Homo-oligomer: A and B are copies of this chain.
């Protein structure tokens, strides 16, 4: 098909949640791209950042890197990169470990919350993604 869609990079170990996230983003009109680990996600972002429009990541990941660290590295590559975290137990750590202008979805969350979070961060004129300098 020839319609281009905004690609969203997703890191989620839990197969059930991953399927839900993929379906939800697809129904909202996004194209989810799954990374198997934080390390793979960072490699993908370094290679062709411009291809991805946002990061959606779980906190606990199977590699050495957790979701907090992936987000920090994504922001070093692109200071304005939109970030959405998904977590249960780790949601309370967002004020200390999250990056500025990111969003935290506390599990259990509704699919509509994920789509709204990504859309808000992508829409120009929405809350700021990065400092102005």
Q: Please determine whether A105 and B123 come into contact, CB atoms closer than 8 angstroms.
A: yes
Encode contact with B along A27-69: 1 for CB under 8 Å, 0 otherwise.
0111000000000000000000000000000000000000000
Q: Please determine whether A124 and B104 come into contact, CB atoms closer than 8 angstroms.
A: yes
Partner of A103, one of B82, B94, B123: B123
How many copies of this chain?
6
Which A residues between 97 and 117 are near B, CB-CB below 8 angstroms? 97-106, 108-113, 115-117
Q: Please determine whether A108 and B3 come into contact, CB atoms closer than 8 angstroms.
A: yes
Question: Can you identify 21 A-B contacts, CB atoms within 8 angstroms?
Answer: A6-B110, A29-B112, A30-B110, A30-B112, A72-B97, A80-B132, A94-B131, A95-B100, A95-B101, A98-B125, A100-B100, A104-B125, A105-B123, A105-B124, A112-B118, A116-B119, A116-B123, A124-B132, A128-B128, A128-B129, A128-B132
Would you list the 6 A-B pairs with minimal beta carbon distance, nearest first?
A: A29-B110, A28-B112, A124-B131, A116-B119, A128-B128, A75-B96
